C-alpha cells in the first residue's frame, strides 16, 4: 500500500499540532487569567507599582479588572491585557461614570484605554475617581 506524501505530511502536521497543544497546556500557557483573591490583587498591584499596598479594593465580577486604593489615597486601575494584567495609577485626568451595571473608568491615557467592570460600590468608586 502506497501512502501519498501529501497525506503523510498532513498527518505529521496534525500530530505536531496536538503535541504543541499538549505542551502549552502542561506549561499553563495562554488562557485568560483572573483576579480571584485579595492576594492576587496585591501581587498585581505591587508588580505595577512596587510598594503599592491596597487598603481598599473592588474586583470585577468576571475577574478581568479591579480598582485598588492605597493608604496615600492613590487609586490604581487594573485590567487584563492579553494573558497578563496591566495597571495605572490614576491622575486628575481620570474620570469615571456608571453605565448600567458597569463602572467605566477612563484613565486619561489613550494607549491604556478604559476599564469597564461590574462591581459593588460603583457609585463610591466613581466619586472617588472623579475627585482626584
CB crowding 19-51: b at 16 or more within 10 Å, else e: eeeeeeeeeeeeeeeebeeeebbeebbeebeee
Instruction: Indicate yes or no: pTM above 0.85.
Output: no
Where along the chain do its domains lie?
1-30, 38-130
Q: What's residue 41's pLDDT?
A: 95
pLDDT per residue as tens, the chain (132 positions): 788 889 889 988 999 999 999 998 888 777 778 999 999 999 999 999 999 999 999 999 999 999 999 999 999 999 999 888 999 999 999 999 999 999 999 999 989 999 999 998 999 999 999 999
Q: What's residue 123's pLDDT?
A: 94
Amino acid at each position: 500500500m502506497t501512502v501519498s506524501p501529501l497525506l503523510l505530511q498532513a498527518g505529521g502536521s496534525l500530530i505536531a499540532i496536538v503535541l504543541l497543544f499538549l505542551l502549552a497546556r502542561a506549561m499553563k500557557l495562554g488562557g485568560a487569567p483572573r483576579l480571584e483573591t485579595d492576594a492576587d490583587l496585591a501581587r498585581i498591584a505591587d508588580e505595577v507599582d512596587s510598594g503599592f499596598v491596597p487598603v481598599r479594593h473592588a474586583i470585577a465580577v468576571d475577574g478581568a479588572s479591579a480598582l485598588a486604593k492605597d493608604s496615600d489615597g492613590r487609586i490604581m486601575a487594573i485590567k487584563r491585557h492579553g494573558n497578563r494584567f496591566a495597571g495605572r495609577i490614576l491622575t486628575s485626568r481620570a474620570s469615571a461614570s456608571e453605565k448600567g451595571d458597569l463602572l467605566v473608568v477612563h484613565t486619561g491615557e489613550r494607549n491604556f484605554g478604559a476599564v469597564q467592570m461590574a462591581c459593588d460600590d460603583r457609585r463610591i468608586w466613581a466619586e472617588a475617581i472623579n475627585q482626584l
